[in-house]
Structures are given as structure tokens and as C-alpha cells.
Chain A
């Protein structure tokens, strides 16, 4: 629907007084997806680094999968941003003429650093041996050619060379961990630094975003891992999911505590914006915040995951609990992003009224495009899993045979 027509329809739904330019919500559902997707990237990478940096060996079955999940989502992360621009064709200016004082300007650089210097390099180093072997033993020739290209001309897989790979990979993960923290903490800062908006402007925003990102990334990888095991008809490594469950619980507890701390602080200080924030939470955000984000997306998974720690449930029950908790927290965190991004634009900066937002089905910023953006990382992931199966290792003997 035409923007102007939409705005005319929205006009009667305004409550109280808003500045006249505020009727149009500036950042739509696409900007809700942007922090959600980058959060999944950061969370998945942090899960991967648990094994690599902190030697949590139980999560090893998800190590490579986490990296691929992070890559699949990272590739999609800039799409909603660029789609949202008034002039997408000028988007590259953010790289060429960045304004140093802008919180948003650095996104391009943080993104590129993370993609090129961390994720791609780490995946390549970790898979290098397999890529070299696959480039020799893969029977399907186009795929073999792709592997050949992916070796970048380096086919040395001697022990010494692999040990250098390993050391380098570890070093990159050590750099990658703060990079992942930076990537998503930075996304939080984009919102947290907007002093004009009291719902956003808090130094806690980057930390809240970070921990909810960890929760979403861990939950995402957990679900994908369990789903893939079902799909491949292999047993789920129960020790692995038990450990991931514990980390998921910790991340949700910290994220939830920070969110509540923020609200309690706001209520206690009760500054001039408190009245409108109360009305916002009790009104336009009641379902998405109180019901979905807090009760369904945070409290329920905490109770479920907590009970798995306290009681001795069977393996089957635990798996159901993990699957359910991960799903609920993923929905809850999507709702949290919605509540931050859309919620923060519902009330007027005059603090005297509310505007409205209707999510259209079609159009550049409609629900269908949003859904497509959410599905796209899974398609990319499927491609990555086909090309770089985390579970499949080409045996050197087979490679020898094929080379002979």
C-alpha cells in the first residue's frame, strides 16, 4: 500500500499528541530483523568459541555447525538494512564516506572485519584439511572443482602445516570472541546512543543486546543441531545438548536480569518519560512484551531449563525441554527486538501520545519480505552444509586411492 494512504489510515489511530512528523514509524519490521539476525550470528560464534577457546569439549559436535550458522546469518544481516534505505543504491557510501561520529557508520567496518578477518578465515582454517581431501576424493566433478577453488591453491596437509592451522585458528577465535561481542554490543549501541529516545537511551543496551544475542544464538544452534540429527537419523549427543542447555539457561538468566534491572531502574527513578513508558508497556506492548517476551520467552524457558538442572528427567524429556525452551526463547528474543525497535517509536518524543504501526503483508517492508529474510539464512545454511558437512570427514585413504 502507498505510504501516504497508510498514513491517512493511521491518522485516526493516534492517541494523545504526537509531533506531526512522528506519525510515520521510521524503522519498520526490517530493522527488527537486523539486530535479531546479527544477534544469532554473535551467539552462534560465542557458542563455537566455547569449544575452541574455553575447551568445553562437550559442545564439540556443534562447533563447526555453529560457525556455519554464524556465516549463513551474517551473510543475510545487511540485507534488511539495505532494503530499508531510502536510497539502497547509495548504501556503499557508508564505506567510502563514513562519518566518524556516527554510531551507524562503523557497522560496515565491524561487519567486514567480522566476516572477512574472523569468520571466513576461521571456517577455512578449520575445514582446510577436509577441503584438500574433498578436492581429491569428491566423485561429483563440479563439486570437486569448487573444493579445488576453496583450497586457494594450498594443498599442504602435513602434520606441521595442520598444527599451524590449528594454532592460527585458535588465535583467530581468541580475536573473534571480542569481535563477536563488539559486533552485537555495537548493534546495541546504535540504539542505546540515541539520547532523544528514552526507551533506547541506556548504557545497558549493548550489554542487554549481547546477552540476548548469546541466548538466541545458542538456542538457534541447539535447535538446528537437534533438527539435523533427526533429519540425518543419528543420535543426539545428550552430553552436548545438556551442556548447551546449561549455557542457554545462563544466557537467558543474565539477559532477563539486565532487562528487568533496566525497567526497575527506570521505574524507581521515574523521570519525566516514566508516565509514557508505563502506558506503553501496559498498552501497545502488553502482549509482545509482558506476555511474549517476558512470560513466554524468558520466564518459561528459565523454569523449564532450571527444572532440567534440578530434577532427574529422562533423556527424552530433557530433549523435549531443550527443544521447547530454545524455541520459546527464540520467539521471546524476536519479540524483545520488536519491543525495542518498534516499541521505542510508538511514543512521541513530546511524551504526550502514541502513534501506531500496522505490519503490511506485502511491499518492500512487509511481513512476506521479513519472512523471506528469515528463511534465507536457512537456505544458505543448507548450501553450506551440502558443501561443508560438519559431520563428514573424507578419509585420507580414499583420497589416496582416488589420486592414484
Chain B
């Protein structure tokens, strides 16, 4: 009886081990079901997102200027939390992109208008990534993502190594020339947490910029995402931005 028990036990153990091994082998096949990740705002009270409608942007540059004023961004034309690019596509071929002083002072006059096929303006800012490479790369954890989805920098912690600036695929970070720490768009966190709109959204005369709460399915931003076709910048980077662009041309980088 004792022997039989042992045998039974061994049988049971080996069958269990085999089943576990088989399960491990087969389980990746079921990964396709998990292909769509749960949205990062699931279970969150608030989760900020942003949308830009390129067709509505008129390139006035008020957003970039307001951002500099609101957030004490250095006035020199090399430091921006947000800026506006002008794209010109020409026939037979040609792409011109410009953003002199971030679009704050306007753009050079158009030349040879007869060759132009398309022009449009593209506002740029922090892409509010789900997987922000800047947060991943910061060696001391000074850059972090808030519970409500905004990537922020702790100015008292940042060592100024600039690794996050290298890691950001969108070029939206810079080293503050006075404070010597990394700086970036905070979505005007000091304003949105008080129920106000970010400075750039506030001053946009055409409503091309929109911020909102993605955790609320009835928020205007969620509704907009539900009912429009949108794209994100550099999707191949796997950063999964929560800044989305409506009516975006494939030339936009």
C-alpha cells in the first residue's frame, strides 16, 4: 500500500509537471487575446489626454507664446515646451518644415506659391506617453508620471544628466539654461489641477488644442476620440502617446 501510494504520488507529480510544462509552451499562443492592452486610465479617477486638430490650427503661435509666459520658459528661441511647425509640400516633390522661434513671430512669406500643393501647421508638445522613455531612462527617478497621466520633472531632484532629453523621440525636452535641470511641458499642471485649462488651450483662437479627462467616457476629449480618426506621432516607438492628432498628414514627423 505504501509503495502504491508512492507510485501514485510520482504519477500525479509527473503528470502535473508535464501539464505545467505544456501550459508554458502553449500559453504564448493565447497572447493574442492580450494584444489590446487595458487603457492606462482604467480604474483612475482622472487621466489627462490631449488632442490637436491640425485642420483647425492657423499657426498664429499664440499657444507657444502663452506657454513661455505662463511657465517662465526662457525666451530664447532654443527652449520650448510647445511650438508650432509649418509644413509646405510642393509639386513635383519637396517638403519644407519651419518653426522660426517656435512660430511665435510668424513664418517667412511663401515663395513660388504655384508649386505648393499642401500647407498646414502642426503644434508640438509633450506626447503624454503611456510608456515614456524619459521616465524609463532618468537615472535618479526625478522624472516621473503622475497618477493622472502627466509626465513631470522634480526640479529639486534632477541631476541634469540630459539622458531623458536624448531618450525623448519627440524632442520636447530641453535643459533649462538657468536652473540646469530638464524641463518640459507639464500640461500646465498647476492650472489643470485647479480646473483651469492649460495656457496653450486657453489662448488658442480656433480650438485646435483640446485637453481632457480620458477616464471619463463622457468628457469632450473621450467623445472626440470615440468619433474621429486620429493618429499619434512615431507609433513605431512603442511609447503609446495620449496626445493624438486629427487630420494628420503622413509627412508629419
Q: Determine whether the beta carbon of A102 is less than 8 Å from that of B157.
A: no
B139 touches A196 (CB 8 A): no
Q: Which residue from chain A places its CB closest to the CB of B134 in the assembled complex? A: A196
CA distance A91 to B172 in the complex (A): 24
In the complex, which of the residues B80, B136, B171 contacts A349, with contact meaning CB atoms closer than 8 Å?
B171
For the complex, give the distance between the alpha carbons of A23 and B175 in Å: 12
Q: Do A7 and B181 form a contact, CB below 8 Å, given A26-B162, A102-B163, A195-B237?
A: no
* Residue B137 CB within 8 A of the other chain: yes
Q: Does A166 belong to the interface (CB within 8 Å)?
A: no
Query: Would A351 and B253 be within 8 Å (CB), given that A17-B98, A21-B80, A104-B163 are in contact?
Result: yes
Tell me, in angstroms, the Cα distance from A350 to B179 when the chains sit together: 27
Q: Cβ of A20: which chain B residues have Cβ within 8 Å of it?
A: 77-80, 83, 99, 101-102, 171
Within 8 Å CB of A195, what residues of B?
133, 167, 169, 237-238
Within the complex, the shortest CB–CB distance from B90 to chain A, in Å, comes to: 15
Asked whether A196 and B133 contact (CB < 8 A) given A27-B166, A93-B157, A98-B139, the answer is yes
Bound Cα distance from A231 to B83, whole angstroms: 61
Q: Would you call A98 and B76 a contact (CB within 8 A)?
A: no
In the bound complex, do residue A85 and residue B161 qualify as a contact, i.e. CB atoms below 8 Å apart?
yes
Is B211 part of the binding interface, using a Cβ–Cβ cutoff of 8 Å? no
Contacts A19-B171, A195-B133, A349-B170 given; does A94 touch B76 at CB 8 Å: no
| Any A CB within 8 A of the CB of B165 | yes
Chain B residues contacting A7 (CB-CB under 8 Å) are 76, 78
Beyond A87-B180, A196-B237, A349-B171, is A102–B76 a contact (Cβ under 8 Å)? Answer: no
Inter-chain pairs besides A102-B141, A102-B163, A348-B171, 12 sampled, C-beta below 8 Å: A11-B77, A20-B79, A20-B80, A22-B171, A86-B161, A86-B180, A86-B181, A98-B139, A195-B169, A349-B253, A352-B97, A352-B253
Residues on A lying within 8 angstroms of B by beta carbon are 3-4, 7-8, 11, 17-24, 26-27, 81, 84-87, 90-91, 93-94, 97-99, 101-105, 107, 190, 193-197, 345, 348-352
Taking Cβ atoms with an 8 Å cutoff, the residues of B that contact A are: 76-80, 83, 85, 95-99, 101-102, 124, 133, 135-141, 157-163, 165-175, 177, 179-181, 237-238, 253
